Amino acid sequence: MAARYQVVLTACGTSENARAIAAALVERRLAACVQMLPIESVYTWRERVEEAVEILLLIKCKEIDYRGIEQAIRALHEYKTPEIIALPVEAGSADYLAWIDAVTRHEP
């Protein structure tokens, strides 16, 4: 199937910021579901290796809504350069994908 659906990833430094982004995306019907997972990250920032405890958001959505999701994350995120990565969904349960269609704002 064509990649009509995506999982968008972003990581937040606080649970408050993660919840605000998740709620905004679902309330605006840009995402059907946002899962929040505690993670530990190791990354390079300003030429130094850093470590952080973060909250990873797994945003279940339609490909057509990516632009609105990215704009919302940029507007609400506490990081200057937030991770925003979209991964295509190559296959999935027909019932689950139909649910994504039903609860997000664009027509399938």
Q: In which band, very low, low, confident or very high, does the pLDDT at 105 lie, cut at 50, 70 and 90?
A: confident
List, for residues 11-69, the tens digit of each pLDDT value: 999 999 999 999 999 999 999 999 999 999 999 999 999 999 999 999 999 999 999 99
Q: In which band, very low, low, confident or very high, does the pLDDT at 108 lie, cut at 50, 70 and 90?
A: very low
Contact 14, 59 (CB under 8 A): no
Domains and CATH numbers, the chain: 5-103 (3.30.70.120)
69-5-76 Cα angle (round to 5): 15
Can you spell out the DSSP letters for the chain? ----EEEEEEEESSHHHHHHHHHHHHHTTS-SEEEEEEEEEEEEETTEEEEEEEEEEEEEEEGGGHHHHHHHHHHH-SSSS---EEEE-----HHHHHHHHHHSSS--
